[in-house]
Amino acid sequence: MPGFLCENPAGGLASRPFMAWASQYRKSVHLCRTRYPGTGGPPKPSDITSSGLVPELKCGVKLKGGGGRSPQCDTAAMHGVHLETLGGRKSRPAWELTNLGVGEPVMEGVMARLRDEKRRRRRCRGGGERRRLSKLWVLELYCAMGANKPAAARLGLGHVAVGGCVEGGGKFTPDVNADVALVFKEHHDPLNFLVSLALSHLGSGYDADGLILITAAPRCTTYSSMRRTNDARGAHTYRLANGNPKPGRIGLPARVDDAANQRMFYFLCRHCGVIP
């Protein structure tokens, strides 16, 4: 069975009643890379829910400094040590230097471990039988930029990014365009449907048995803690102070996200052998 790893802003999605089961599978981290000079803003707290895949993490920021020393990032300077972090590829203003999300160094290690475990299981199951085995691959949901694609390629893994964002073109366009939230909310068998879409993109040599990892970064618009700031300013928000969706049309996006994510985690757990 594949593993799964999902990321969302801390405290938002995790506070919903349907996520109570996930406390033993959740790791709260701070993305202190958001404090890289020029990016602004405080460290980004994030919740990582996975099937036991996330290792102990350290900040990967390294800054060039004078006198032969590398100055610390702001978080390390404030706390004396780097907080646990995850770093990714999405960034402002420098794509290569400032990272948010689930990053290549962490993900490459996770994917390498899952790849090697899958190969060992296949050898044991095959019992020396010589047969053609499907290629191994990774499915990335709610993703428009294929953040883990380079790491997957280095490991010899196929990779498919599925998402509904098409802005910018080029590297910002997903491999397969689909409204993932709508699929999880409405489809009777959403995960197998998304896997079938991904396999159509990958082509020959791949099948569902070769899937080793599913990653997801569900849209955080209705879960962000910024809603409290926006409420105080009278700006547009989707939820009440207790986290429940607002009544009427204004709370519709929050109700959709709750319904989609409740079903997403149900199907992820069932597909990946996790008991909620």
Over 80: is that where the pLDDT of 122 sits?
Answer: yes
Over 50: is that where the pLDDT of 68 sits?
Answer: no
- Strand ordering across the sheet containing 26-31: 26-31, 44-50, 3-9, 206-216, 135-141, 158-163, 176-177
Predicted confidence band of residue 34 (pLDDT cuts 50, 70, 90): very low
Over 60: is that where the pLDDT of 104 sits?
Answer: yes
Of residues 68 and 213, the one with the higher pLDDT is 213
pLDDT (average), residues 244-260: 91
Q: What is the pLDDT of residue 62?
A: 47
The residue assigned the tokens 């996200």 is: 257
Query: Which span out of 48-57, 143-152, 193-202, 219-228 was modeled with the highest average pLDDT?
Result: 193-202
C-alpha 270/C-alpha 1 separation (Å) is 10
C-alpha 82/C-alpha 30 separation (Å) is 9
Angle between helices 190-202 and 252-272 (to 10 degrees): 70
Over 70: is that where the pLDDT of 5 sits?
Answer: yes
Of residues 217 and 41, the one with the higher pLDDT is 217
Rg (CA), the chain: 20
| DSSP H helical ranges for the chain | 74-79, 104-126, 149-154, 180-186, 190-202, 226-232, 252-272
The residue assigned the tokens 């646990």 is: 84
Phi, psi of 100 (to 5 degrees): -125, 160
Residues in the chain: 276
DSSP secondary structure letter of residue 71: P
Of residues 74 and 142, the one with the higher pLDDT is 142
C-beta separation of 36 from 71 below 8 A:
no
**Strand 26-31 versus strand 176-177 pairing type:** unpaired
pLDDT (average), residues 72-100: 43
Predicted confidence band of residue 30 (pLDDT cuts 50, 70, 90): low
Predicted confidence band of residue 83 (pLDDT cuts 50, 70, 90): very low
- 3-state SS assignment for residue 4: strand
Structural domain spans, the chain: 3-272
Written in H, E and C, the secondary structure of 135-147 is EEEEEEECCCCCC
Predicted confidence band of residue 268 (pLDDT cuts 50, 70, 90): very high
C-alpha 243/C-alpha 58 separation (Å) is 31
The identity of residue 228, as a single letter, is R
Tell me the pLDDT tens digit for each residue of 178-204. Answer: 999 999 999 999 999 999 999 999 988
Half-sphere exposure at residue 24, Cβ-oriented, CA atoms within 13 angstroms: 4
CA 155 to chain centre: 19
Percentage of the chain modeled with pLDDT above 90: 30
Burial 204-216 (b: 16+ CB within 10 A, else e): eebeeebbbbbbb
Over 70: is that where the pLDDT of 99 sits?
Answer: no
C-beta separation of 74 from 121 below 8 A:
no
Over 70: is that where the pLDDT of 120 sits?
Answer: yes
